[in-house]
Amino acid sequence: MLSKRFNEALSFAAELHATQTRKGSGIPYIAHLLAVASIALEYGANEDEAIAALLHDAIEDQGGAIAREQIRRRFGDTVTAIVEGCTDADTLPKPPWRQRKETYLAHLLSASPSVRLVCAADKLHNARSILNDYRQVGEDLWTRFKGGRDGTLWYYRSLVETFKQIDSTPLIEDLARVVDELETTCKNPVRLSS
């Protein structure tokens, strides 16, 4: 069961990301954080992992070192370590996109099972969202992403391959299925009605 720590983390995440929306959609960012926590819980997350799922983008997007220390103070070292492990950059300006993603992929090979669980839950929700958005807006979707179409597809395929080098879990298999579907759909674009 989840304790009041989870509720506190949910409130904290909602405060941190209050003005943030999902890329190009206008959807409040908290929807993504809730989805990632839900996916993580569905695949066996404990409370620390679920809290980290709610906060997985806090260091990267909402304050760097300051957010890190707030998380440590409020939720402890274990949650902080998981959130740090899910962070691909905590400085501004961020390093170049491709370099950042390659470094993150290499990091996943030695990341803890908790980091991999939260990261995979995050990537699964992102991939589902990309697939859904692609079906709605078509090729225009790729302008939302620094990696564009080719870079984004490369990154998600590389994530699947990296995760599979470590372990093959039901979560990773679900991510692989969504990435396969995304690649297939992008090769055979959906015709948008005008």
Q: Catalytic residue numbers?
A: 60-61
DSSP string, 82-146: HHHHT-S--SSSPPPHHHHHHHHHHHHTT--HHHHHHHHHHHHHHHHHHHHHHHHHGGGGGGGST
127, two tokens: 């991939």
Using alpha carbons, select from 186, 114, 113 the residue that is nearest to residue 156.
186
d(CA 78, CA 80): 5
- How far apart CA 3 and CA 24 sit, in angstroms, is 34
